[in-house]
Structure 1
Amino acid sequence: MRRPEDSRRRRVLRALSTVLIVAGGLIVVDAVLTVTWQEPLTAFTTGRAQADLEGQLRDLRDDGATAREVTELRSLAAEPVRIAYLARSLRQRAREGRAVARLRIPAIGVDKVVVQGTDAASLRRGPGIYDRSPFPGVPGTTAIAGHRTTYGAPFRHVDQLDRGDRMIVEMPYGTFTYRVQRTRIVTPQDVSVLESTGTDRLVLTACHPLFSADERIVVIGRLVSAIGRGAGKGEPLRGPQLTDRVQRPATDLKLDAGAGR
C-alpha cells in the first residue's frame, strides 16, 4: 500500500525536476541570444533607461540656451563660434549618466541616446562620452565608449564599419557628420587614440574581441559637416578659424567599456 509520505515526496521531486528543467532551458536560451544577438536581461534594463534618456534629451533641446548663454551669444555671430561656445557650456554643466546627444550610424543600425561619462553605471544606460573628451563643435577628438554584448550592445557591429560610412552625432546645438577613416585594435592602456591630432574627429571604443575585455576596437572618423541648430545657428565663419585648437592631453586615461563587455 502506497504511503501518503511517498506520494508527497514524489510530487515534490516532480515539481523540483520541472523547475530545474525550465531553469536550464532559460539559461540555454540566454546563452544562445547572447552569442547571436545580445544579452537579453541587460538589454531590457538598458531599453528602459534609453526610454528615460529620450525624455531627457528632448527636454534639453526644448529648453534651449540658458539665460547666461543667451547673453554671451549676443556677441557671437559666426556659427562655428556659437557652436563651440555652446559645446563648452554644455560640457561644463553635463552630469554623469545624463543624456547629452544622439548617435546614429546607419550602416549598422545604431540609433542611441548618448550619456555623459564612461563609468560602469553610465554605460549601462547607453554609449558615453569620455570625461575629458570635448563635445562635438570644440576642435579635437570626441570619444564615445559603448558595450558590444551587454546593456543593449550598441557597438556590437562596429567591426563591420567600412571606410566612408557615416557616423552622426546630434547635439542640442548642432548636427555633426563624420566619415569612418579606419579601425584599429589596441590595448586598454593605449590612450593615444583619444588625443588631439589637429583634425576634428569622432572615436568610438569598445571591448574586443566579442565576449572579451583583453583589447579595444577603435573606430576613427573625420568630421565632414557641422550644422548649427537652435541657439547654435549663426552666420557662416569668414576668414581664419577663431576657436582655440588646444586640447588637454589624455595621458592618464584608460579606454573604457571593458567591464561587462
Structure 2
Amino acid sequence: MTQTPQATRSLPPVPPRSKSRSAVHFVGELLITIGVLLLLFVAWQLWWTDVLAHKAYNEGRAELRQEWGVTDAGGTPNAVKPKYGKSFGLIYIPALRDRAWGVPVLEGTEREVLMKGFGHHPETAVPGEKGNFAIAGHRTTYGAPLNNIDTLEKGDEVIVETKSGWYVYELEAQEIINPWDGWILDPVPGLPSNTEPRDAKITIYSCHPKYTANQRYVWFGSLVEEMPKSAGTPPAIEKWGE
C-alpha cells in the first residue's frame, strides 16, 4: 500500500530556546542556589556556633576545675592576674541562667576569645579589685550568653567565681551607647578617666540591637560581697547549682 504524502510528513523541529529564556532559567537556578547557601549560613551562625561555644565552655570549665584543685584555706579571696587568651573565672548571671551560667571568662576581647566565653578587657580591673572589671559577651551566636541582656534589671546579680573565691556584683544602671564610647572602660565610668577608684565596679556589655553591631547595650554595677571558697557559695549558686 502506498503511503500518502500526509502520512510520511515528519513533525516540525522544536524551535531552539531563546537566549532570554535561557537567561531567566539561569538566574532562577542561581537565586535558588544562593537561597540554599544563605539558609546554610544562618544555620551555621545560629546553631553550629552554639554547638562550638558550648563545647568550648565545657572544656574551659574542666580546665579551670583541674587547675584550681584545692581551694584556699580562708580569708579574703585574692585578685587574679590572668594571662591573655586564658580562662581565669566563671560567670553566673541568675537572671540569665539559661545561657549565662558557669560561662568561662577569658583575658582579652578578640574574636577568637569571645568564641569561648566572656572576654575581659586587659586594661581594666580584675574581679574584686578596686576599679572597673569590664567584660564583653556575644548577644547572638557562639552561645550568646548575653542574648537577653535587655531583660536584666537593677538589682540583678553577676557572680564571678575564681580559684580563690566568689565575687557578687549588683547591677545599678543601664545605658545604650555608640561602639566608640570607650569611657565605659574607665576606672570609674562616667567620671574623668584619671579618677582614682574607691570601689570595685563591673561593666558588662554586648552588641545592640540583636543581629547588629550598631550600638552597645551596657550594664554597670558594684561589688556587694566577696567570699573565699572555704566560706561556702553565694545563695544563688546554692539554689541553682554550679
Residue in structure 2 matched with residue 170 of structure 1 by the alignment: 161
Query: Cα deviations across residues 161-197 of structure 1 (Å, max 9, x unaligned)?
Result: 0011111111111101111111111112212122223
- Tell me whether 1:192 sits opposite 2:183 in the alignment: yes
1:1-261 aligned within 5 A: 27-28=38-39, 31=42, 39-62=46-69, 79-80=75-76, 83=77, 86-87=78-79, 90-91=80-81, 94-109=82-97, 110-111=100-101, 112-197=103-188, 198-229=198-229
8 Å Cα contact 1:186/1:217 also seen in 2: yes
Q: 1:48 to 1:22 in 2, by over 3 A?
A: farther
Aligned-CA RMSD value: 2.8
Letter in 2 for 1:141: N
TM-score by length of 2: 0.70
8 Å Cα contact 2:71/2:229 also seen in 1: no
Q: Which runs of 5+ in 1 are unaligned?
A: 1-19, 71-76, 234-261
Q: Distance in 1 between matches of 2:155 and 2:177?
A: 21
| Shift of residue 212, structure 1, vs aligned partner | 1.1
| Shift of residue 23, structure 1, vs aligned partner | 9.2
Letter in 2 for 1:95: K
Which secondary structure state, in structure 1, belongs to the residue aligned with residue 113 of structure 2? helix
Which secondary structure state, in structure 2, belongs to the residue aligned with residue 39 of structure 1? helix
Letter in 2 for 1:210: K
| Shift of residue 95, structure 1, vs aligned partner | 2.6
Letter in 2 for 1:52: E
Q: 1:152 to 1:225 in 2, by over 3 A?
A: same
Q: Which runs of 5+ in 2 are unaligned?
A: 1-30, 189-197, 232-242
**Quick check: 188-197 or 151-160, which moved more?**
188-197
Max Rg structure: 2
Q: Distance in 2 between matches of 1:23 and 1:170?
A: 45
Percent identity over paired residues: 30
8 Å Cα contact 2:96/2:148 also seen in 1: yes
8 Å Cα contact 2:128/2:223 also seen in 1: no
Which secondary structure state, in structure 2, belongs to the residue aligned with residue 125 of structure 1? coil
TM-score by length of 1: 0.65
Letter in 1 for 2:90: R
